[in-house]
Structure 1
């Protein structure tokens, strides 16, 4: 599964295999590189399954850096962590550290883990921080921390696993086609209406615009686009507001880290842009534009020829007794 510029699920590839193992994962990932995309710099989020890890370590499959960047699902990481340490407090600290966008806050949570359990810290430090911590990610995963999107799509194929193989493939084909058709139409209507960015990123930017009203902006260098932006303290007791952030418009950066992580401007960059009457659109990655959204869903599915019945009849499947073990075992 992938994710489009409107934060919607994008079905990328399906496969039927005899099981989830090293061979099947290696074959599947090789097929994606050969048949689906040769694009460099892809970010793949997964659990720690040995088959996936082996495939990413194989330089001949095309998934090693810089061809691709592997990231670990936070939910699976926390589950593995609990298997070793069985401490809910430590698990919560792990999740907080993983979700932090600022390195200093990440370090704060890691220090707390160290004070509670040195072995827990050592276990986490054995895994490269960029694999699981948002603050060290480098903007590869766009803030997506889990593999939930691939599991959520199972609802689209609900009940299909009980079908015979042919019906299973047909159902997948038709439901994915319907999925594309609806979103293609949405993209076309939004293009026609003159919208620039997807509703998802528009809502995020509008929320950040509201925050800018309480920011104080100080210009340091007009030519470099260097500013200090002071954010007022939030209403929550746990808020870290009141801090000053350095904004560099020329480098598209802010010390809060959010613009690089998510691909659209944080409230501090928006405040600096407003201060100098600069269009903030250049800070929005092209993936979030309506044109990119439409292009994502533009590919067409061709009807299957010589189909006499759809939906296919799915009745009792009679399997000869001597074949039953092979079917149930497969």
Structure 2
């Protein structure tokens, strides 16, 4: 991680998503990985796996997973209350995880851009499948050309998508359409038009 800061990026505000391995946790305590230089967040997939391992309850795991992805404080509070009702010890486990901003999207501050896990890194591993035990020079060559090919093809597909009159990718478009559908059940009250302050009361609708 020190070499990453020295040779890869010195960008301020970078977000690091990882599992809670002791060596990673210790590294994230170093000044160069502390806010506002960097923000450490936990991989939710690993966190839920550890939670389920220690409590062995699918209902609890589902409740915690839902709570993690909530974007409203009252829903986070409600989720934690439900977990405590099912098993009070589970709340102690969650408290021991550490700062809530490291696992709750509601408290994240937007630094992880909604990314909840390290699947992106796993995807890179998938691209590199089949190159183990090759000489170092071959590994470097394969990495460069294989990853470059992936980005070239992705860029070509993006231009085709844009030329067809699309602004967003199909995945993003589905999310936006779903949110628009949910928004039809919401009630919006203007509080201060000049400052852009509004009160939004969410309806039930089809969630």
Could you state the TM-score of these two structures normalised by the residue count of structure 1? 0.55
The equivalent of 1:85 in structure 2 is 55
Measured on the aligned residues, the alpha-carbon RMSD in Å equals 2.6
The equivalent of 1:34 in structure 2 is 6
**Aligned partners of 1:155 and 1:112: how far apart in 2?**
38
1:223 is displaced (CA, Å) by 2.3
The correspondence of residues 1-330 of structure 1 with structure 2, limited to 5 A, is: 29-59=1-31, 62-126=32-96, 127-186=98-157, 193=163, 197-199=167-169, 200-235=171-206, 239=207
The structure, 1 or 2, with the larger RCO (C-alpha pairs under 8 Å, 6+ apart) is 1
Q: Which has the higher Rg, Structure 1 or Structure 2?
A: 1
**Aligned partners of 2:30 and 2:108: how far apart in 1?**
22
Asked if the contact 2:18/2:42 (under 8 Å) is kept, the reply is: yes
Could you state the TM-score of these two structures normalised by the residue count of structure 2? 0.84
1:233 is displaced (CA, Å) by 2.4
1:119 is displaced (CA, Å) by 2.3
Q: How many residues align?
A: 205
Instruction: Write the deviation string for residues 288-327 of structure 1: whole angstroms up to 9, x where unpaired.
Output: xxxxxxxxxxxxxxxxxxxxxxxxxxxxxxxxxxxxxxxx
**Aligned partners of 2:89 and 2:174: how far apart in 1?**
42
Instruction: Write the deviation string for residues 58-82 of structure 1: whole angstroms up to 9, x where unpaired.
Output: 22xx211111100011121122223
**Aligned partners of 1:84 and 1:206: how far apart in 2?**
38
Could you say which structure has the higher helix fraction?
2
1:215 is displaced (CA, Å) by 4.1
1:125 is displaced (CA, Å) by 0.8
**Aligned partners of 1:178 and 1:154: how far apart in 2?**
15
Structure 1 unaligned runs (5+)? 1-28, 240-330
1:114 is displaced (CA, Å) by 1.9
After TM superposition, the structure 1 stretch with the greater mean CA deviation from structure 2, 155-164 or 29-38, is 155-164
